[in-house]
C-alpha cells in the first residue's frame, strides 16, 4: 500500500519539474493526482480534503529556491503538511495492558 502510494506521488511530482514558479493550475493538477492516490490508500475523504486545502494554501505562489525544483518544493510542502496532520511528536503505543493486547487496523478498501 505505502509503496504504491509513494510511486503515485513520485510520478505526480515528476511532472512539476522544470518550472520556475508554481502556478495554481500546476498545483491543482498535481493535487488531483494526490487526492486519488490518498483515497486509493484508504485515507478518509474528510482527511484528504483538509490535507489538500492546507497543501494548496501553502504551495500556491511559493517561490522556488535556486537549489530546488518546483517538484521538490511541493514535496516539502506536502511533507510539512503531512507532519502537521499526523502530529509532529511520536506517541508510544500503550501496550501496558493485561495480555493479550488487541490492536485493530482497518481500511476502507481492504488495503494490504
Instruction: Kindly tell me if the per-residue pLDDT of 83 is higher than 80.
Output: yes
Q: Is the pLDDT of residue 64 over 80?
A: no
Domain 2-86: which CATH number of 2.40.50.140, 1.20.120.140, 3.40.50.1820, 3.40.30.10: 1.20.120.140
Over pLDDT 70: what percentage of the chain?
A: 75
Mean pLDDT of 61-70: 61
Q: Measured between alpha carbons, how far is 96 from 100 in angstroms, rounded to an integer?
A: 10
For the cut 70, the answer to whether the pLDDT of residue 1 exceeds it is: no
Domain-by-domain residue ranges, the chain?
A: 2-86
Helices (H), the chain: 2-14, 24-40, 45-59, 70-86
Amino acid at each position: 500500500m505505502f509503496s504504491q502510494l509513494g510511486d503515485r506521488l513520485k510520478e505526480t511530482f515528476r511532472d512539476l519539474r522544470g518550472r520556475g514558479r508554481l502556478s495554481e493550475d500546476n498545483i491543482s493538477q498535481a493535487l488531483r493526482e494526490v487526492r486519488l492516490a490518498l483515497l486509493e490508500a484508504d485515507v478518509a475523504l474528510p482527511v484528504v480534503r483538509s490535507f489538500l486545502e492546507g497543501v494548496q494554501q501553502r504551495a500556491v505562489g511559493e517561490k522556488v529556491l535556486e537549489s530546488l525544483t518546483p517538484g521538490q518544493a511541493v514535496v516539502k510542502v506536502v511533507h510539512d503538511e503531512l507532519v502537521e496532520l499526523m502530529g509532529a511528536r511520536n506517541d508510544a503505543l500503550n501496550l501496558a495492558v493485561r495480555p493479550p493486547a488487541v490492536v485493530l487496523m482497518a481500511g476502507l478498501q481492504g488495503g494490504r
